[in-house]
Amino acid sequence: PAQYPLAMTPNDPGWNELSGVKGGPRMNATFVTLARNADVWEIAKSIRSVEDRFNRRYNYDWVFLNDKPFDDTFKKVTSSLVSGKTYYGEIPTEHWSFPPHIDQEKAKKVREDMRQRKIIYGDSVSYRHMCRFESGFFFRQPLMMNYDYYWRVEPSVEFHCDIHYDPFRFMHENKKKYSFVLSLYEYFETIPTLWDSVTKFIKNHPEHIAEGNSMAFLSDDGGKTYNKCHFWSNFEIGSLNWLRSKAYTDYFESLDQDGGFFYERWGDAPVHSIAAGLMLKKEEIHFFNDIAYYHVPFTHCPTGEQFRLDRKCHCNPKDNFDWKGYSCTSRYYELNGLPKPEGWQDQSD
């Protein structure tokens, strides 16, 4: 990223020459947010943060998706805040409901059981629809079909450092398909049989498993069991064409048939992460150390003081989660043979 100029706007001389991309520097990419009308003021904060730190200079589009129609307030407020074009999509019922093969009684018993065991979102039907939608459908919505890359943004998130280059272009030029800023362990209670399903998929579809993948990020015993590591999917920049590929589609359909979105409470984070870990080459997954980010309760604050000063960061480096015990990011470093950045020890407690 250092080769990109600092703080340019599309109006600055040299923008197009430096881009090296015919037809203008911007990628075919969009922000995407799934939200309810009631989320308007929390997504407003997220948008302000994205615009302040990045998009006011790049003006990328923003697609909003909802299982209900967006109301006028939501549309007015968000379209006034986004510097690019805004689009509003309503999710079709088939993408936000129980598929026919699901046993409703069984699913209901699971929710009641999880409510008693106080498993987070364990009793929620809508949360399950959300996880299934983010796992298998957001990238196939008609509004998303025109784009190659997406950047997922949730309500109430914050970006703490200036972003002086285009992460979409970075993805494209470096052939990255998936990226993350935070990684951690999943609650086992939400995914007890997810790895069994994955194992079955691997057996049925060996052709989709990449050579030189990141299995070592996901499993400590060569694939026998899942270590629960996953990339936190509330932040993602990724390739839509990868998610729309035969490999990913077969994977999602296989998992969906097994019913764990409803008989357990599979999250889209482990579902995406396992897909990326097994079906991409390890070099195709990128860690954006330079994108500082907060989603309750975790912060990614870049390691490296000079970097934080140059990019006007406003996060406390002590809050950085990367090198703490519950993060999986050091596994990613080890697997990829990356040296840990200078100063990581200062952030490990």
Q: Which residues are catalytic?
A: 236
Cβ proximity to ligand GDP: between 86 and 303 the closer is: 86
Residue 154 engages Mn ion in binding (rule: CB under 5 A):
yes
Q: Which of Mn ion, ligand GDP, none binds 47 (CB below 5-8 Å, type-dependent)?
A: none
Pick the closer one to ligand GDP by CB: 33 or 273: 33
Q: Which does 34 bind (CB under 5 to 8 A by kind): Mn ion, ligand GDP, none?
A: ligand GDP
- Shortest CB 71 distance to ligand GDP, Å: 12
> What's CA 105's distance to the chain center, in Å?
32
Q: Which residues contact 257 (CB under 8 A, 6 or more apart)?
A: 101
Q: Which does 66 bind (CB under 5 to 8 A by kind): ligand GDP, Mn ion, none?
A: ligand GDP
Closest approach, Cβ 42 to ligand GDP, in A, equals 8
Query: For tokens 């307030």, what's the residue?
Result: 73
Q: How far is the CB of 131 from Mn ion (least distance, A)?
A: 12
Residue facing ligand GDP at closest CB distance: 126
**Quick check: 162 binds Mn ion (CB under 5 A)?**
no
**114 close to 270: Cβ distance less than 8 angstroms:** no
Q: Alpha-carbon distance 296 to 316, whole Å?
A: 15
Closer of 157 and 275 to Mn ion (Cβ): 157
Pick between residue 88 and residue 333 the one whose CB is nearest to ligand GDP. 88
Q: How far is the CB of 182 from ligand GDP (least distance, A)?
A: 12
Whose tokens are 């059981």? That residue is: 113
In the chain, DSSP assigns E strands to 29-34, 61-66, 86-90, 149-152, 158-159, 178-180, 183-185, 229-231, 236-239, 285-287, 293-295, 298-300
Interface stretch with Mn ion, choices 2-10, 148-156, 169-177, 252-260 (CB under 5 A): 148-156
CB of 160 to ligand GDP, least distance (A): 18
User: Which residue number has the CB closest to Mn ion?
Assistant: 154
Residue 35 binds which entry of Mn ion, ligand GDP, none, CB below 5-8 Å type-dependent: ligand GDP
DSSP states along 80-129: HH-SS-EEEEEPPGGGSS--TTS-HHHHHHHHHHHHHTT-TTTT-HHHHH
Cβ atoms of 30 and 61 within 8 Å: the answer is yes
Mark 197-236 with x for binding to Mn ion (rule: CB under 5 A) and - for no binding: -------------------------------------x--
Q: How far is the CB of 234 from Mn ion (least distance, A)?
A: 5
Report strand pairing: 29-34 vs 158-159.
unpaired
List strands edge to edge, sheet with 285-287.
86-90, 61-66, 29-34, 149-152, 236-239, 178-180, 285-287
Based on the shown chain and the rule CB under 5 A, indicate whether residue 42 belongs to the binding site for Mn ion. no
In the complex with ligand GDP, which residue's Cβ is closer, 26 or 36?
A: 36
Long-range Cβ pairs for the range 300-308 (8 Å, 24+): 300/181, 300/182, 301/160, 301/347, 302/161, 303/340, 303/341, 303/342, 303/343, 303/344, 303/347, 304/341, 304/342, 304/343, 305/343, 307/161, 308/161
Kindly indicate which of the ranges 39-47, 131-139, 152-160, 204-212 contains the residues binding Mn ion, using the contact rule CB under 5 A. 152-160
Q: Which residues bind ligand GDP (CB under 6 A)?
A: 33-36, 39, 66-67, 126, 130, 154-155, 234
Measured from the CB atom, the residue of 120 and 145 that comes closer to Mn ion is 120
User: Of 83 and 156, which CB lies nearer to ligand GDP in the complex structure?
Assistant: 156
Separation CA 196–CA 162 (nearest Å): 42
Q: How far is the CB of 134 from Mn ion (least distance, A)?
A: 11
What is the binding site for Mn ion (CB under 5 A)? 154, 234
